[in-house]
Amino acid sequence: MGYEIFNKETELSNPRWTAEEIKQVNSKFKKRCIEKEPESVIVYLGSHGSHEELETSDGKPIVYWQHVINQLDHDNCLALKGVPKLFFIQACQLFEPDEKKVDNGKVEYFLDDYAIVQSTIPGHDAYRYPEIGAVMVHCLTEILMTNSHSHSFQQMMDMLREEVSKKCFRQTIRVEDKALKPLYFNLRPARQNK
């Protein structure tokens, strides 16, 4: 899609991240965004998880609103004000029993021009099948490859909702956006394999 992949070698060589490593990588990513002044930003988070948390290799959960998304809002990263920010979160959103919940305090965030796409709604699983992998990721990839040359991001998210529910009737994605202007990637259509 023409995006620079931040710190690709490090990201791909380390399949398991501690909470502190995720925070450090996000901090470096934020600095890179300030230096590069991107036209748009895409952040993908994939892990096991529970409601608004991602599991880490050291067992310390990351509250993704607080530790990732909030760090790129215009209070914490003024350089990204007005820059479209797309967050994709592939993780279950199951509720934890009350005795396990940790009060992380109220997190206020001041995002503009953003979309957050979660693989499922709160209280539910995100499904993965052996043939296709994670349902949302599979559907998203197909939709981007075939429609990004002619449809806006918002139109493709409508398609994603429909495709995910067709592939897995038990899974409903959640898309939240605020002040996101119509966003087009204008990519060439994918070639059909023959």
Averaged over 19-26, what is the pLDDT? 88
Structural contact between residues 88 and 44, judged by C-beta atoms closer than 8 angstroms: yes
The position carrying tokens 């957050």 is: 116
Q: Would you state the pLDDT for residue 67? A: 82
Tens-place pLDDT, residues 140-184: 999 998 998 899 999 999 999 999 999 888 888 889 888 888 888
Say whether 94 sits in a helix, a strand or coil.
strand
Q: Is residue 62 part of a domain?
A: yes
CATH number at residue 43: 3.40.50.1460
Q: Is residue 42 part of a domain?
A: yes
β-pair partners for 174: 118
Give every CB contact of residue 79 below 8 A, 6+ residues apart in sequence: 33, 34, 37
In the chain, how many domains are there? Answer: 1
Q: What share of the chain is helix, strand, coil (3-state, %, to 5)?
A: 35, 15, 50
Structural contact between residues 131 and 168, judged by C-beta atoms closer than 8 angstroms: no
Residue 91, domain extent: 8-95+108-125+172-178
DSSP state, 20?
H
Q: Would you state the pLDDT for residue 9? A: 58
Task: Report the predicted TM-score, pTM, of the whole model to 2 decimal places.
Answer: 0.79
Q: Is residue 3 part of a domain?
A: no
Tens-place pLDDT, residues 71-100: 888 788 888 888 899 999 888 777 654 434
Instruction: Count the alpha carbons within 13 Å of 15 in the hemisphere toward its beta carbon.
Output: 1
